[in-house]
Amino acid sequence: MPENSKKMTTLRHGAPPRVVVLAYDGLCTFEFGVAVEIFGLPRPEMGDAWYRFAVAGIEDGELRATGGVRILTDGHLSLLDAADLIVVPGWRGLDEPVPDALCEALRQASARGCQLLSICSGVFVLAASGLLNGRKATTHWRYIEALKTRFPAINVVDDVLYQDEGDILTSAGSAAGIDLCLHIVRRDYGMEAANCVARRLVIPPHRDGSQTQQLSRPVAQLRESQRLGQLFDFLHQHLAKTHTVDSLAHRVGMSQRTFLRRFRDATGTTPARWLLNERLPRAKDYLENSRLSIDSIAEQTGFGQAATLRHHFRQHFALSPARYRKQFAATPR
C-alpha cells in the first residue's frame, strides 16, 4: 500500500528492538501465538541482533487463555516502559471494557515513540486508548461495523489485510496478523530476513496489506493451487525477467482467462500488481544492503530501467530510490 516517508520508520539501527506482547485473562491463543512465533522464537540463524521479547500481563496472577491454557507472564505493565513495539493480540470481547491503566500505559508508550500493533479484535484496545482517533485502522471484517459505530473518530478501512500508519499498525483477522508481523520484520531487518521467517512458517513471504480480506470465489482446486504454488516459487527466483499474462498462463497450463481468475482467487490481486508488490521490497532490500547502482537494481528487480523504478518508488513511498538509500541504508555510503 502507499506509504510516505514519514511512516517509513525502522527499528533495526541500534540495539535489537524490544517487543512486548500483552497477555490478559481470556487471552486469544492464536493471535498471541503469532506474536510469539514471529518475535519471540529464538532464531540463531539471524545472529545476536534479533528481537528481544517479553510478555506483559495486564492483570495479576495466572491468566487463563482460550482452550484451557494457563499463562505466566514475564511481568506487568511496567514492561511497556522499555518496549519498542507493543503487540495487542486480540481482545477477550467487544463488550469487555479495557482497563484504564492499560489505556494510559499505551498512551505513554506512544508518546515516547513506541510502535503499537494490534491483531484482529486487538484494535478495540487501541481504540479505547484514543490513539486511533483521526487515524486509519482496520480489523476483522466481522468487527468492521462495530468499530465504526463505537469509535466514529477512527477512519476505519474496509477489507484490507492490514493498515500501516507508521507508529500504529492494525491487522484484520488472525492470519492477517502474520502478514503484518512479517511486514514489521521486513521493515526492521530486510526482505531476506522476512523470507527466512516465512519459510520457517511454510507460508508465502509477502501479501500486500491492501489485498482484500474476503474472496468472492472459492480458492482454486488442489491441482491448480499446486501449479500456482510452483509458479510463485518460479517468480520469486526470476523477478528480473519480463513476465506476461500469456507466458505465465502457458507455464501453468491454463487459458489466460482461467489463469487470471485463479490467480486472483489465490492472491486477491492481479499478476502485475503481485509482481510489483514483490519487486518493490526486493529493490528496497538492495538499496539498504548493497552498493549496486540504481540502474543495476532496476535491472535485477525486473523494473528494467531506473526511470521505471523511480516512478514506482515515488508513487508508493513518496521517496526517490536515492533518497530512500540515503535515509535507510544499513551502512553509510
Distance CA 12, CA 24 (A): 29
Cα 52 to chain centroid distance, Å, stands at 19
Q: Which three cell numbers stand for residue 71?
A: 499463562
Cα 185 to chain centroid distance, Å, stands at 8
On the 0-12 / 13-18 / 19+ scale of CB atoms within 10 A, 289 is middle
Distance CA 147, CA 290 (A): 43
List the one residue out of 71, 81, 82 whose CA is nearest residue 27.
Answer: 71
Distance CA 145, CA 152 (A): 10
Q: Which three cell numbers stand for residue 219?
A: 480458492
Distance CA 314, CA 306 (A): 12
Contact 248, 271 (CB under 8 A): yes
DSSP letters along 48-72, please?
GGSPEEEEEESSSS-EEETTTEEE-
Distance CA 296, CA 282 (A): 12
28 catalytic, yes or no? no
List the one residue out of 294, 270, 273 whose CA is nearest residue 283.
Answer: 294
Contact 107, 128 (CB under 8 A): no
Active-site choice (28, 114, 120, 181): 120
What positions carry a catalytic annotation? 120
